[in-house]
Amino acid sequence: MRPIVFTLTLAALYALQISAQAPAPTKGANPGVHPTRLMDRADVRVLHVDVAPYAVRSVHTHDDVKFHLFIPVSGNLELTIGSAKPVEAPPGQAFYMEKGTPHGFRNTGATPAVVMEVFVKDSAATAQK
C-alpha cells in the first residue's frame, strides 16, 4: 500500500510542478493563438501568428492602424470580416482590412496553421508629410 501512496504523491507533485510552469492565461486570451512581433516601428508592425489546431481568435478590431493585411501562410484557416459569413482563407491569399474592421479567424484543421499580419499604422500618413 505504501508504494502506491508514494507513487501517487510523486505523480501529484509532478503535475503541480508542470502546471506551475505553464504561463497563466491572461484575460481575453485566445488559447492556441500565439502572435510574435517580428517588427514594430512607428509606421508598420508585422506579426507571425501560430494557430494551433481548432484554435479561435475571437472577433476584434485594430483601432491603432490605417489598415492591415491578413496573409495565411499554411494550414486550414477560416476568416470572418465584419458581419459577413466566414470564408476560407487559403495560404497565399491576402485579405485587406481598414482601421476598426471587426474580424476573427479560426484554424479548421487538425494541423497547426501560420498567418502573417502586416499593420500600416496611422502614424505612417503623418510620417510621409
- Domain residue ranges in the chain: 26-124
Cα–Cα distance, 119 to 19 (Å, whole number)? 35
Q: Which comes out higher in pLDDT, residue 79 or 27?
A: 79
Average pLDDT on 88-94 reads: 97
- Look up the CATH architecture of domain 26-124: Sandwich (2.60)
What's the pLDDT at 125?
52
Residue 64 CA neighbour count, 13 Å, CB half: 7
What's the pLDDT at 29?
78
Q: Which comes out higher in pLDDT, residue 106 or 19?
A: 106
- 112 by Cβ neighbours in 10 Å (0-12 / 13-18 / 19+) ranks as middle
Average pLDDT on 5-32 reads: 48
Q: Which comes out higher in pLDDT, residue 61 or 19?
A: 61
Straight-line distance from the first to the last Cα atom of the chain, in angstroms, rounded to the nearest whole number: 79
